[in-house]
Amino acid sequence: MSEITLKGNKIHTVGTLPALGSDAPDFKVVKTDLSETTLADYAGKRLVLNIFPSLDTDVCAMSVRKFNAEAEKLDNTVVLCVSMDLPFAHKRFCGAEGLDTVVSASDFRYGNFGISYGVKIADGPLAGLLSRAVLIVSPEGKVIYTEQVPEIVQEPDYAAALAALA
């Protein structure tokens, strides 16, 4: 269990992020076209997991925009944005923003992503949503970078995540 804060108030996740060097946990999430995607779909590529509570918050929207802009510059890299928002919300947001480089997906159908990655919020007003975190998975499926953002209303450390891809 990780302790994070929401506007200074303590909340917790159901677990902790996977350890550096460990195998990335498998997952199955739903993309905007309602098809499913799993970890295996990204084998041989670097995978940036941009995880957040909801597209309907400014910080979450900003992280999707920022990673979309950076993804265009990255070779052999896919940015997968994951939240509990419905696939329709992901599609609407990305369409309205003109974001076509990131892959947007929802954990609504199975709910296992948040548990497997230790990012499902366990208590407080956001219980059931995903915390703000960034993980990077190597082409071999190993976790090579993690950040559990300690205060959910702050942005992730984009520079550190991008440096891990260098």
Residue boundaries of the structural domains of the chain: 3-164
Per annotation, catalytic residue among 30, 60, 81, 162: 60
pLDDT computed for residue 60 by the predictor:
56
Extract the tokens encoding 31: 């993309």
pLDDT band at 23 (very low <50, low <70, confident <90, very high): very high
Residues 6 or more apart whose CB falls under 8 angstroms from that of 99 comprise 64, 65, 68, 93
pLDDT value of residue 111: 94
Whether 39 shows a pLDDT value over 90: the answer reads yes
pLDDT at 75: 86
120-129 average pLDDT score? 96
* Active site (annotated) includes residue 60: yes
Is the model's pLDDT at 55 over the cut of 90?
Answer: no
Give the tokens for residue 112.
């296992």
Residue range 80-99: mean pLDDT, rounded: 84
Residue 61 has pLDDT above 80, yes or no: no
Cα–Cα distance for residue pair 116/86, rounded to 1 Å: 19
Mean of pLDDT over the chain: 91
Q: What pLDDT was estimated at residue 66?
A: 77
Mean of pLDDT values over 11-29: 97
Q: Which CATH architecture is the domain 3-164 placed in?
A: 3-Layer(aba) Sandwich (3.40)
Determine contact, residues 52/83, Cβ cutoff 8 Å.
yes
